[in-house]
Structure 1
Amino acid sequence: MSLLVPPFTRETALQKVRQAEDGWNSRDPQQVSLVYTEDSQWRNRAEFPVGRAEIQAFLARKWAKELDYRLIKELWSFTENRIAVRFAYEWHDDSGHWFRSYGNENWEFAADGLMQRRFASINDMPISEADRKFHWPLGRRPDDHPGLSELGL
């Protein structure tokens, strides 16, 4: 994976969003944390991890709770070193209850292309298993799988 650096064009912003989606769909906290600066600052719901070690611990807890996690991100807007995305992901808890989580993220990047700040707002909606829309095998979303707009989300 090449590290795309600011200033972003529409093409590089789209690539950055897909790389982030692919990384998160790997559900590998160690690997995902490497795209953030050593002192990266986050707001994720009511948690405020700072730095890679806290990000790794956060992601490990997240994916231990959010089982069979599948995520789609979509570019909303971008500027020189900032990207805004909207996203949705589906998951179930250890009791088998399914959810679709919707949210928005604002990202700010350092000159080397690593993300230095990430602010996420997320809402969870219970869904039935029959209402799921993300059915690819765990891991990277296939290129031919519809995105959020195509799914009407």
Structure 2
Amino acid sequence: MSLRPPLPPFTRDTAIEKVRLAENGWNTRDAEKVALAYTEDSWWRNRGEFAHGRAEITALLKRKWTRELDYRLVKELWAHDGNRIAVRFAYEYHDDSGQWFRAYGNENWEFDEHGLMHHRHASINEHPINASERKLLWDTSGPRPLDHPGLTALGF
């Protein structure tokens, strides 16, 4: 089995690194690549949907990114302890009609000894926004630039 550093137990710095790596992965919108960060038998709760294992996670992410166009995400460490990390996040996207949305949420993550996530619990709320209200502005399909503000600096 391959390792996905940083590995637990997490320090503040390694937890921040793990959060940024997850953010960067999700911003690629590459479901197969993102799913490799999870154990083969990973268990998710994402809103009202449940996924078990990489195949279901990949399918969930493909459905998500088919509906959520020009998706951009920012995650921020909330807390960490041992092999667990809590994050808060915000993301923006538009649907196929051009309506923009901003979603806010929290995730609780639990990792195995190889640095793979085996539990993910996500609570997410969203609301429509005008295109002029967008704050997550960078080229799509890539990581957030290092100089782009995070959630706290954006006032989220």
Q: Same fold (TM over 0.5)?
A: yes
Please give the per-residue CA displacement for 1:87-138, whole angstroms capped at 9, x wherever unaligned.
Answer: 0000000000000000000000001110000000000111000000011001
Return the letter of the residue paired with 1:106. N
Counterpart Cα distance in 1 of 2:36 and 2:89: 21
Counterpart Cα distance in 2 of 1:86 and 1:43: 15
Partner of 1:62: 64
Counterpart Cα distance in 1 of 2:5 and 2:66: 28
Counterpart Cα distance in 1 of 2:80 and 2:133: 32
Partner of 1:144: 147
Gap runs ≥5 in structure 2: none
Counterpart Cα distance in 1 of 2:4 and 2:57: 21
Please give the per-residue CA displacement for 1:39-66, whole angstroms capped at 9, x wherever unaligned.
Answer: 0000000100000000000000000000
RMSD: 1.0
Partner of 2:39: 37
Q: What is the 5 A alignment of 1:1-153?
A: 3-138=5-140, 139-153=142-156
Q: How high is the TM-score relative to the length of structure 2?
A: 0.97
Contact 2:4 2:114 in 1 (8 A): no
Give the paired residue count.
153
Counterpart Cα distance in 1 of 2:103 and 2:68: 10
Counterpart Cα distance in 2 of 1:37 and 1:4: 15
Please give the per-residue CA displacement for 1:11-70, whole angstroms capped at 9, x wherever unaligned.
Answer: 100000000000000000000000000000000001000000000000000000000000
Q: How high is the TM-score relative to the length of structure 1?
A: 0.98
Return the letter of the residue paired with 1:71. L
Counterpart Cα distance in 1 of 2:8 and 2:76: 18
Q: Percent identity at matched positions?
A: 65
Partner SS state of residue 19, structure 2: helix
Runs of 4+ in 1 over 2 A off after TM superposition: none
